[in-house]
Amino acid sequence: MKLNYFIQLLMTTLVLAGVFIFNSCQSISGSGNPKFANDSMVANFDYFTYKGNDDFYNNNPLPGDDYYYNPILPGWYSDPSVCTNGKDYFLVTSTFSYFPGVPIFHSTDMLNWKQIGNVLNRPEQLPLDGQGISRGIFAPAISYNPHNETYYMITTNMQGGNFLVKTQDPFGDWSDPIWLPDVHGIDPSLFFDENGKAYIVNNDEPDGGSTYEGHRAIRGIEYDVETDKTVGESIMLVNGGVRLSEKPIWIEGPHLYKFNGSYYLMCAEGGTSVDHREVIFKSDAPFGNYVPWDKNPILTQKHLNPNRELPVTCAGHADIIQKDNGQWWSVFLACRPIDNKFENLGRETFMMPIRWSRDGFPYMTKNDEVVPRIIRMEGVKRDSSVPFGNFEKNDDFNTTELGMEWLTIRGDAAGLYNLNENPGFLTLKCAEVTTNELKVPAFVGRRLQHHKFESTTKMYFTPGSETESAGMVLMKNEEHQYLLVVEKVNGQKAVRVKMLSDTAIEVIGSETINAEDEPVRLKITSNGTEFSFYYAVDDKDWKLLADKVDASYLSTARAGGFTGTTIGMYASGKKIEFIQ
């Protein structure tokens, strides 16, 4: 009796062990590769690498350890805003329809910045359903209120309106959204006065409505920090811009400050393209009569020779701050186009010192001054973790959570990716969603941060049908993408390069591969103006699949929008469809 019992127990143990081995990604086959369960509905990525190799950094080494490169946050870290508690500095930027939202960076010296998290890291903080890539979260502004030792981040969700979140620990989680139904338009910013009162300034319609295309106003309303509600009526502070007679367009991104007893209202003007500029007004009261400086703009590159070497363009949307040593600095967005034609990096975060005029106005550039690419910050030593210059990032997916550089689209993609199912791999589900839909795809990507780069991944994937595909994607928006994918074509496994538009997919490179159970390595390189796409079966040599592919197709100049390009991994179980 006991013998039969132990035989039965042994047989059950062996069966269970066999099931475990079959389903374990770490079971090793004879080829030395991981053996995955026979599940064609997922793709497993072993690693992802990204390496920048821009000529500027190679040819212009920093002259000392107290110098830095502009931009300080390369890639589309746009609409920067900064605050301080007197010792620590915190900086946030826009994320539009990517998740998580609003990366937050910390520094103790304004030179060495490190991302410490994302302000909007929970789905309930960030409803993005159905929004295009360039909608979602616009222009976050971060402020510190010394009266209650609380940090505030206020912003616009293009689908829900204006809201703020707050915390007393910016290294931790932030509150759920506090919606502001009486603050309309976009780009709100909070200001805390010395007497404890708080005010919101924002872009909105002028009194009586707009009279020309791009005619906007800056409005202000009081905010009660005790009830977290606005007080009174919204008041128009600036109509149109510096000179209404010239019909200025898109005044936005306002920030309110108080220096030496006077109130300063600083705003962007001219739109986000090459006419972008920063302007400033002065008043003796928070909602008083704001008079523009007669030497505006205080920052712009719009009038400079477009054929200049290494141009920085579109400069504006600034925020300014005083360091604990008394120095004044600004952060702002700008672009680095190639030959002043296009770029795929989007609007990046730059930083430069503030100067003060004799009549008491701060400014960054005047006359024909250019935004410098190399700047010295005396008294500060650059450390090895700075997020600029040529660098290499490698992720082997050996953690239980994605690193802070990774993004998904329109939500947290819960259930579509997994780091724990097959430890050491990023597993993506072949979801019934494609990259051109306004839904949450199985996509995990990061920003492009260099004109010249190389990015690789190693993928285990066996498509079970001709609707399943997985690989890498260069994503500008829903209608401008390049895809390097493995899929089934006429019953055979193939690797292909595709160009996605709003009406069709064009195959620009395709090869059948004999690699049913072997991994496929994928590589994308860029020289700034062109992409090249490669593949390799297992550890064999790279094969060029498509060369000299036009990079401008993903640029803002061609595709529009407010973001730069992301690169990453994705999977889909659905054939891309187009609405005619």
Q: Write down the pLDDT at residue 23.
A: 34
CB 387 within 8 A of CB 395: no
Residues of the chain with CATH 2.60.120.200: 42-52+391-572
3-state helix, strand, coil in the chain (%, to 5): 5, 45, 50
Q: Is 252 annotated as catalytic?
A: yes
* Closest to 449 in 3D by CA, of 53, 103, 24: 53
Q: Write down the pLDDT at residue 283.
A: 98
Distance CA 280, CA 365 (A): 13
pLDDT in tens, the chain (580 residues): 333 433 444 444 433 333 333 233 333 233 356 766 555 689 999 999 999 999 999 999 999 999 999 999 999 999 999 999 999 999 999 999 999 999 999 999 999 999 999 999 999 999 999 999 999 999 999 999 999 999 999 999 999 999 999 999 999 999 999 999 999 999 999 999 999 999 999 999 999 999 999 999 999 999 999 999 999 999 999 999 999 999 999 999 999 999 999 999 999 999 999 999 999 999 999 998 999 999 999 999 999 998 899 999 999 999 999 999 999 999 999 999 998 899 999 999 999 999 999 999 999 999 999 999 999 999 999 998 899 999 999 999 999 999 999 999 999 999 999 999 889 999 999 999 999 999 999 999 999 999 999 999 999 999 999 999 999 999 999 999 999 999 999 999 999 999 999 999 999 999 999 877 899 999 999 999 999 999 999 889 999 999 999 999 999 999 999 999 999 999 999 998 886 5
56, containing H or E segment: helix 55-59
Q: Write down the pLDDT at residue 539.
A: 86
* Closest to 318 in 3D by CA, of 281, 287, 274, 278: 278
Q: What are phi and psi of 352, to 5 degrees?
A: -155, 160
Query: Selecting from 3.40.50.720, 2.60.120.200, 1.10.3720.10, 3.40.50.9100, what CATH number does the domain 42-52+391-572 have?
Result: 2.60.120.200
Q: What are phi and psi of 20, to 5 degrees?
A: -60, -45
The catalytic residue among 79, 187, 278, 319 is 79
Distance CA 305, CA 307 (A): 5
Q: Is 405 annotated as catalytic?
A: no
221, containing H or E segment: strand 217-224
Q: Which residues contact 123 (CB under 8 A, 6 or more apart)?
A: 99, 411, 412, 414
Q: Write down the pLDDT at residue 154.
A: 98
Tokens 């009796």 — which residue?
1
Q: Is the dihedral of CA 327, 332, 336, 337 positive or negative?
A: negative
* Closest to 200 in 3D by CA, of 216, 210, 186, 214: 186
Distance CA 197, CA 285 (A): 12
Q: Write down the pLDDT at residue 24.
A: 31
Q: Write down the pLDDT at residue 388.
A: 96
496, containing H or E segment: strand 492-500
The catalytic residue among 252, 269, 278, 468 is 252
Largest Cα span, the chain: 102
pTM above threshold 0.85: yes
CATH architecture of 61-376: 5 Propeller (2.115)
* Closest to 563 in 3D by CA, of 161, 186, 75, 139: 75
Distance CA 379, CA 384 (A): 17
For 271, other C-beta atoms within 10 Å of its C-beta total 17
The per-residue DSSP string of 233-285 comes to EEEEEEESSS-GGG-----EEEEEEEETTEEEEEEEES-SSTT-EEEEEEESS
The per-residue DSSP string of 346-387 comes to -SEEEEEE-EE-TTS-EES--TTPPPPSEEE-TT----TT-S
Distance CA 113, CA 454 (A): 24
Residues of the chain with CATH 2.115.10.20: 61-376
